[in-house]
Amino acid sequence: MRLEIGNFPVREVRFGETTAYSNGILTINKEEALKVVMEDEHITEADLVIACPGDPVRIVPVKEAIEPRVKVSGGTMFPGVTNELVPVGWGRTHALKGVDVLVVGKHWGGFQDGLIDMSGPGAKHTFYSSLKHICLVADTDEEFERYEQQKKNHALRWAGHRLAEYIATCVKDLEPETLEVYELPPITQRSPEVNALPGVVYVMQLDSQMEEDGYNALVYGWDSNHMLPTFMHPNEVLDGAIVSGSFMPCSSKFSTYCHQNNPTIKRLYQEHGKTINFLGVIMSNLNVNLEEKTRSALFVAQIAKSLGAVGAIVAEEGYGNPDVDFIKCIVALEEAGIKTVGITNECTGRDGRSQPLVALDERADALVTTGNVSELIELPPMPIVIGELEALARDGLSGGWEGCVRPDGSIIMENNAMFCGDTICGFSRKRMAEF
């Protein structure tokens, strides 16, 4: 399967009479773009605001991030979600790079929403401070969940995906500045030299703990809570087959942008044919009941063993209860004779002294941490707020609490509320220090 991603670097974003791309400048017709947003009758008001790295801007509550892309050939964007359900991961996709559509609540946040500072000391805590954001700031009439701590944010998130595709249509017929090619032939058709290298799989444990539909990550539009582990081609992940869920505490989640640009998949591609034989992705989930957790772990190990894997990387989207899924999966792989590395964040408490994971096992002896969700972060006031700062304290954001926003606009919060701050997919800026 061969996927070509044509890249169009965005050096400046501005509003103008037409939506167009030229010489690194992305121009957006705001009126036309908002018509795409307002196609959903549940969206009551919306605006677009541009925020760039270095701006004196704080954005909250942030709900989703999507890279603007358009299919040139082979499939659709976000199949089974905002477009027809067809295979992806092949053909040509054009992408606007260095920019995203950021979905922001005009007022109301929830447990799974986060914060981004575009400058100042807060900017170092998330990769997303380095992107140019086309902020969709909107409100809805979804009163049934307005005062709920956990929100589906269906109208807002789906509007963000439609908007991202609309914006990217301006480069559909242009020649990209660079072209990335991702190609993995069927495992049985690889050269003897490649098949002689250690076979490695990447296991992705998606946000999928909610038994009710509408909260979990989607795989080709299918709620990942209802699936068993599934073997996927890595190109499918990079090409829009996975849409982020809305439930996970914010620093721990994978946005759709994270899936579209997954750094771990890209690095495994770089090593393929050199140091490893990259077999593919096992798409797994995070379950509610212990039996479900055990079943998924067994399926992951069986698939990996059947593929001939001798090594695996397991990435957990979340923490707490999902730690049981994470450790069970690692143990099942190790018991199958597959050397496994786990990537996750941890919850060691504000003082850093608590047990990092809910479940532990001596066979999980190769773990990479991307940060402590409970770490306290204190930030000064920011001159401009996109969204509503009070949402951090008022609406149950996982890192906020009543009183965490001070009268002068300064804040104290847990890392939990930093949008994709720990980016377990590989964007994390954090490093280990030895004392």
pLDDT at position 190 is: 96
pLDDT at position 435 is: 56
The residues, any chain, with a CB within 8 Å of residue 164's CB and separated by 6 or more, are 66, 67, 68, 69, 77, 100, 101
Q: Is pLDDT of 28 > 70?
A: yes
| Distance, CA of 116 to CA of 123 (rounded, Å) | 7
The residues, any chain, with a CB within 8 Å of residue 203's CB and separated by 6 or more, are 229, 281, 282, 284, 300, 304, 312, 313, 314, 315, 329, 333
CB atoms within 10 A of CB 273: 15
| Distance, CA of 94 to CA of 108 (rounded, Å) | 33
With beta carbons less than 8 A apart as the criterion, state whether 160 and 243 touch.
Answer: no
pLDDT in tens, 92-123: 999 999 999 999 999 999 999 999 999 999 99
Q: Which two tokens stand for residue 16?
A: 């103008």
pLDDT in tens, 228-254: 999 999 999 999 999 999 988 899 999
Q: Give the mean pLDDT of 25-39.
A: 98
pLDDT at position 277 is: 98
Q: Give the mean pLDDT of 270-291.
A: 96
Q: Is pLDDT of 299 > 70?
A: yes
| Distance, CA of 72 to CA of 54 (rounded, Å) | 33
Q: Which has the closest alpha carbon to 350: 380, 379, 373, 322?
A: 373
Q: Which two tokens stand for residue 188?
A: 């049985």
Q: Is pLDDT of 256 > 70?
A: yes
Q: How far is CA 275 from CA 116, 322, 372, 425, in A?
A: 37, 31, 32, 21
Q: Is pLDDT of 149 > 90?
A: no
Q: Give the mean pLDDT of 142-159.
A: 87
Q: Is pLDDT of 147 > 80?
A: no
**Residues forming beta bridges with residue 115, ordered by sequence position:** 418
Q: Using the 8-state DSSP alphabet, how is residue 356 labeled? A: S
| Distance, CA of 280 to CA of 342 (rounded, Å) | 16
Indicate the burial class of 88 (C-beta count within 10 angstroms; 0-12, 13-18, 19 or more): buried
Angle at 69 between CA 67 and CA 74, to 5 degrees: 140
Q: Give the mean pLDDT of 274-282.
A: 98
Q: How far is CA 201 from CA 293, 305, 307, 343, in A?
A: 19, 10, 9, 14
| Distance, CA of 350 to CA of 287 (rounded, Å) | 27
Bond from prior residue into 53 cis (ω within 30 degrees of 0): no
What is the rounded (10 degree) CA torsion for 209, 211, 214, 219? 60
| Band of residue 434 on the pLDDT scale cut at 50, 70, 90 | low
Q: Is pLDDT of 433 > 70?
A: no
CB atoms within 10 A of CB 246: 24
Q: Is pLDDT of 291 > 80?
A: yes
| Distance, CA of 256 to CA of 77 (rounded, Å) | 12
| Band of residue 304 on the pLDDT scale cut at 50, 70, 90 | very high
Q: Give the mean pLDDT of 193-198.
A: 97
pLDDT in tens, 364-380: 999 999 999 999 999 99
Average pLDDT, the chain: 95
**Residues forming beta bridges with residue 314, ordered by sequence position:** 203, 342
| Distance, CA of 8 to CA of 21 (rounded, Å) | 8
| Distance, CA of 333 to CA of 329 (rounded, Å) | 6
pLDDT at position 432 is: 67
Q: Give the mean pLDDT of 146-151.
A: 81
| Distance, CA of 345 to CA of 331 (rounded, Å) | 18
Q: Give the mean pLDDT of 212-234.
A: 95
Indicate the burial class of 185 (C-beta count within 10 angstroms; 0-12, 13-18, 19 or more): exposed
Q: How far is CA 326 from CA 158, 160, 333, 342, in A?
A: 29, 30, 11, 8
pTM exceeds cut of 0.75: yes
